[in-house]
Amino acid sequence: MDMNRPRVGLALSGGGARGLAHIGVLKTFERWGVPIDCLAGASMGGILAAAYAAGHSPEVLEAVAVRMSRLRRLVRLVDLRRPRRGLLSGDKLRAFLAQYLPPELTFRDLRRPLALKAVDLGTGLEVALSDGSVLDAALATSAFPGVLPPVVIDGRCLVDGGVLDNLPTDLLRALGAERIIAVDVSSDSCPEDDWNPLQSSGPMPDFVEMALNAVGVMVVAQTRARLRADPPDLIVRPRLPHDISTFSSFTRAAEIIRRGEEAAELALSHASMSPELESVLALPLAA
């Protein structure tokens, strides 16, 4: 790290399949040479932040996402069962993530400092995860209530951090970040004329998709309020159609990633015209 510049942190929001746009953002950031000193995330953003902090390149993450976008591969991750703690058991997701976040990997082993946001069901409070097993933390931050079972860490029953804070920029400040970049995949959409909120085309039941769409409305309002109260230095908002939904749209990985790239290019182009941001992010004159 160049000690003459401020420490830069990157926060990635939750959003299910929409979160694949983070991969495109990371690709563009690397192409422009944007320095990322620490990361934070919630839900899908937390999983991808963990994978990136562990050293997996955006190109590797893209290859995995595109490969898994085939419906038959996605179905292999869906372990439907009689509802108890969640619609899915989560065992297949754990096995899949363990390929990239081995169970023995701890936060101390990461190439970049990382913090993930979860929620303690017992207290209703937000929890910052920044030590111990990275795999357990990634599963906890993405354990959407009713869909995936809670994850127990240090005696606490933890669920998806996006329930209370879908874009945890506060965690970056705790990691020492002096400049904050936030990527929000929930706030900025471009509606399609034929969008039907009752339609589902993926392996999850329609009622799950509808419930998540409803929760998404609340999350958008919550995230916007937090960003107004504590605005980041730079925000990237991929323009994602409304019909790119939380679960069903993993089959559209390539399109979602491309939209992330485009949004990052636009945001960095604007930032390069700001002397303060250009200096902080060490942006080149041309990418």
3-class secondary structure, 276: helix
- Relative to beta strand 151-153, strand 156-160 is antiparallel
Cβ-contact 283, 277 below 8 angstroms: yes
Whether residue 37 lies in the annotated active site = no
What's the token pair of residue 268?
């960095």
- Is 160 one of the catalytic residues? yes
Token pair of 199 as six digits: 């339609």
Burial 5-36 (b: 16+ CB within 10 A, else e): ebbbbbbbbbbbbbbbbbbbbbbbbeebebbb
Distance CA 36, CA 29 (A): 9
Q: Tell me how far apart the terminal alpha carbons of the chain are, to the nearest angstrom.
A: 20
Q: What is the DSSP string of 239-268?
A: -B-TT--TTGGGGGHHHHHHHHHHHHHHHH
Contact present, 23 and 17 (Cβ < 8 Å): no
The catalytic residue among 13, 37, 43, 136 is: 43
**Contact in structure between 5 and 280 (CB atoms under 8 Å):** yes
CA distances from 160 to 97, 122, 220, 242 (A): 16, 13, 15, 22
Annotated catalytic residue: which of 37, 120, 136, 160?
160
- Report, as residue numbers or ranges, the catalytic residues: 43, 160
